[in-house]
Amino acid sequence: MAQRNSSEVSEFLLLGLSQVKEVQLTLFLIFVLFYSVILPGNILIILTIWMDRQLGSPMYIFLASLAFLDICYSSVTPPKMLADFLRQYKTISYGGCMCQLFFLHFLGAAEMFILIAMAYDRYVAICRPLQYMYLVNRGMCCILMAASWAGGFVHAIILIIPTHQLSFCGPNILDNFFCDVHQVIRLACTDTHRVEVLTFINNGLFILTGFILLLLSYAILLTKLRTSLTHGKSKASYTCVTHIIVVFVIFTPAIYLYTRPPEPLPMDKVVAVFHTVIFPLLNPIIYTLRNKEIKSSMKRLIKRYNIWTTE
């Protein structure tokens, strides 16, 4: 990375979620409580799938990968946000800002590709059940997960390189609790039209296309199940509906933030909190609460742990 000119911005000032100290302390306690409850739950999901051989099917492997991605994604901005609640001056270095942008979009895009892989898994299971073990084996799972991470990396690189090449000479105030790409671009003191167009294509159209494709695929699968006489279609329909719920939870805030004109709106911070802090940790919980196999396996794992601790 080339050394930046000394006259350019070396750090950004974050205004955070609120300027009122009492509100900041309240939010700090709320988010700490949320993390202390939900984060261990996500870790337990991963451990349950990893330790229980009955949950070795591709669907659960993808779910564990999604839970891991969500933990990583929700660890990009919240730690600094929580620390900033206790600080008077909330600043982030230029390098830290670029890192936030990179990992947010890297992990977010990888998550979208994992959801597409999960949709492919359901398609094969429902439409080509006799070939399922051949088309979606462990080797294919590894390939799909590696492709998801690689796709997320390419997406983030396409976003971060032109943003990094912009010149920032002031002002350096971001009315947010993290580095949002649209706000960062608006602070540049060079022409940003090309970068804005590229960001919209790489972000907005990318997100909208993925959302539409996923909804269409599950609509086709539900239609197929409705007209099918195969055994277990009720369970398959239940799984597809769960996937649709998670797709809406993940994509709705992203569509609001990145598929509209970049002018700031009053709800931006609230939606950003749900998008970067709350929803990522809730996604695996939604799958778990709607899946009897995982809940039963979790109970067995907790029971075994309690037995071990009392021996």
| Predicted pLDDT of residue 229 | 60
**Predicted pLDDT at 310:** 44
Give the domains, in start order, of the chain with CATH numbers: 11-306 (1.20.1070.10)
Full-model pTM: 0.89
Question: How many other C-beta atoms are found inside a 10 Å radius of the C-beta of residue 49?
Answer: 26
pLDDT at 58: 87
List the chain residues with pLDDT less than 50: 1-7, 307-311
How far apart CA 18 and CA 181 sit, in angstroms, is: 20
Q: What is the C-alpha separation between 194 and 202, in angstroms, rounded?
A: 12
pLDDT of amino acid 219: 92
Residues paired with 92 in a beta bridge:
12
